[in-house]
Amino acid sequence: MNRLALTLALVLVVAACGDDDTGDATATTVIATTQTSAAAETTTTTAAATTTSTTATITTTTAASAGGAAFEIASVSFGAPMVVITNTGDETGNLGGHWLCQRPAYQVLPDFELAPGESVAISLGGNVFLPPPGVLTIDDQLNLGGLSPSSGELGLYSSNAFGSPDAIVSYVEWGGTGHGRSDTAIEAGIWNDGGFVATTGETAVIQLTTLDSAGSSAWSGF
């Protein structure tokens, strides 16, 4: 066993000192392999599985947000039309320049900083504005043509490139599928084809209930 371990170590040293034709990613892999013993092979496999799961979540929440900030539509209220946006990232970010979309209506968001874990409520019309307790608010009222609990959509974009999957950050549709921007969200990988949040005419709010999955399975109506 000692001779086998010594031979393996020598092979790894030679590989690490060889040509770097495969770039930085290959060099990093060699270092990781050198530091991991053969006995820890099972641990390496488990770490790879965990990384895959984490990557899927990051892809969903940071499709177009820079600097470690990741903005998600967290809830949509119908009686007093309102949207709550949460920064699920690990750095403070600014909503300025982001857009809300309920095709064909689009509204740009004002400058507003959100620290990690903070949420902000934005009125989308009506005479009543009742933000959830502990949630920040934006004074400006945005008009997206009204929100119906029976059917609709909301998309959050990092720019006004509304047809681009690279610009859409967060999306939700309810009451049915095939709304104006659902194809863009599906292409971006943040919504599931044919998925929607089940609602009725009496639904008061739909909420994001988990970040562990993308699309309609992450939402519930109440």
Each residue's pLDDT tens digit in the chain (222 positions)? 444 333 333 233 233 333 444 333 333 333 333 333 333 333 333 333 333 332 223 233 333 344 599 999 999 999 889 999 999 999 999 999 999 999 999 999 999 999 999 999 999 987 778 888 989 998 888 888 888 999 999 999 999 999 999 999 999 999 999 999 999 999 999 999 999 999 999 999 999 999 888 899 999 999
Q: Can you give the pLDDT at residue 28?
A: 33
Distance CA(196)–CA(189), nearest Å, equals 15
Q: Are 154 and 171 in contact (CB under 8 A)?
A: yes
Q: Can you give the pLDDT at residue 3?
A: 40
Distance CA(62)–CA(58), nearest Å, equals 6
Distance CA(123)–CA(131), nearest Å, equals 8
- What's the distance, CA 197 to chain centroid? 17
- By DSSP bridging, strand 152-157 and strand 99-102 are antiparallel
Q: Quote the pTM value.
A: 0.69
**Contacts (Cβ under 8 Å, ≥6 apart) of 57:** 211, 212
Residues 157-170 have pLDDT tens digits of 999 999 999 999 99
DSSP state of 120: E
User: What phi and psi values does residue 26 have, to the nearest 5 degrees?
Assistant: -70, -40
The kind and range of the H/E element at 185 are helix 182-188
Q: Can you give the pLDDT at residue 10?
A: 28
Distance CA(192)–CA(131), nearest Å, equals 29
- What's the distance, CA 11 to chain centroid? 42
71-221: CATH number? 2.60.40.1260
Domain residue ranges in the chain: 1-35, 71-221
Least Cα distance to 167 among 89, 92, 87, 108 occurs for 108
Q: Can you give the pLDDT at residue 60?
A: 31
Q: Are 38 and 5 in contact (CB under 8 A)?
A: yes
Distance CA(102)–CA(181), nearest Å, equals 8
